[in-house]
């Protein structure tokens, strides 16, 4: 079974870990669509190191 979660970073600093993209949007005070865009690889490539980025992780749980 895999557990999915999202992590919001600003540079090297971990700001929050959330279970859903909706929680990320609420934390950042942005629309869900904006939070989803921040999580895309295209956004990560376009922006500088010290900007907000959301990463989605999947971890196997035994």
| Mean pLDDT of successive 10-residue stretches along the chain, which has 62 residues | 94 95 97 96 93 94 81
Measured in whole angstroms, the distance separating CA 20 from the mean position of its chain's CA atoms is 9
pLDDT for residue 30: 97
Give the contacts of 50 (CB within 8 A, at least 6 positions apart): 10, 11
pLDDT at position 12 is: 93
Length of the chain as a residue count? 62
Residue 58: per-residue pLDDT: 94
pLDDT of res. 25: 97
pLDDT at site 62: 75
């Amino acid at each position: 079974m895999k557990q999915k979660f999202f992590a919001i970073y600003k540079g090297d600093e971990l700001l929050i870990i959330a279970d859903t993209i909706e929680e990320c949007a609420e934390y950042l005070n942005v629309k869900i669509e904006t939070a989803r865009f921040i999580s895309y690889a295209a956004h990560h490539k376009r922006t500088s190191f010290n900007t907000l980025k959301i990463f989605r992780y999947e971890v196997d749980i035994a």
